[in-house]
Structure 1
């Protein structure tokens, strides 16, 4: 059986695995992303992960059908920020600039580098039965979108389309790590929601809000309203059939989707709102997208 090594780099956790061409995940593991230790430590951690996944498989740690002694045929890496096929150009989350693909994977295999959200969007199209006109919107440590206006991803003139997390929903609002103010990510990303409530994760905010905590309720409501504002603008410009929410925050389920549907509809006075749902691939969309990059590198 042939397979690729795939790594999806998140702000908190990296998911790595071995993936067959049909999307079957033969091996999966998670490692912490050492973001607090600086950009060089993150790059080194990714490179080490890629090297470990690229070694001949010894058959341990998984009941998968990977043949002992086999190696992946290529490596796919999905990272956040502004990404070209050859460089991670910029990441506000990690503080890196113009990092070459080879720095992330110093292995003797073909390597493909891509944007985490666009790659996850490709996986939604390939494996998740994605609609022809859709915005795929993972919400995790940050927020970005994969724009699918007619059955294929749209990258824009420079390949940077989809940076919806940095749309200013309240232009004079909270400072964002990108250098702007009032960005959607400053209000609705998982890291921002958690930080504003002084808790470890967005799931803690959802739990506290359900228990009636006033601060958590206000922060969560503001996050939903910020999302509704950004999505109303997107809807009026590009008319999607659906908005697919992915990433860690999507695991809030109805606590996110139900109020977001209502607020989005309220922001669209003269037309119906698009469907809003959570990703069918869940938190593994990014890993499967990284695998698709690997298959592209393998040829």
Structure 2
């Protein structure tokens, strides 16, 4: 059984289930029997047709999951039947048996549970790569994160604390303190609060912001850029506002050290050994609880429409990730 997209559109309308016989393996492929896959916002965005220029129909959704090697067709395979692997690099995780090129499968340490392994890629890898590959960390630096109470925001805070940085959290509503349990923060600021402007100006005048991690974009990105010290660092990794960063951003702050971060671009530009090394670092952080992901619900693949309904109903409610089981 697999989920398949024949036409782009809302996930509930576009996702259909079908029985299938896996194609014969090419010499470079292995067949992975999936154990768990996740439902991520990136899956739903892809199904909607946002990336139709690089996605051909029909396609199998799912960018994240874990499984075991079920079949090999290589004279000198890197994996053996029964090995647990993380297949990445493209969509295709919402199916029971997945044929994938061996170079896009990565080993999983034995101490991780299947659920931990299945959720160890998109958010944890994005967060850790930004901090270890892009962000210039300095002792005593002041760093600001917006959408800080999102799943990846909380993960970034725990990772920054692990690296000795205590950030400032920017949120969009009051009474979020309980969501940051176990996190070390300088302060929490509700950017929609009437006093937010004063608080941010005070921080700028007394501390200065050395770096911003932004996943909102739009006008909020422009507002936060005003707080940065000269040549401060600004990393954008999402557009939750649905709006691009305005041109005024660069006109007003041409000195900023700005960069976009997209996991897909980094993965496809890196050698396998480098990716495996970073995954090993990330999976250790997952095991230690620093990069853990909360699971809010589990559905079998046959219940995919119930799973998608659950995701839609709970959109914006920070309960955790939804898993598909096989």
TM-score by length of 2: 0.33
More strand by share: 2
More contact order relative to length (CA 8 Å, sep ≥ 6) = 1
More helix by share: 1
Larger Rg: 2
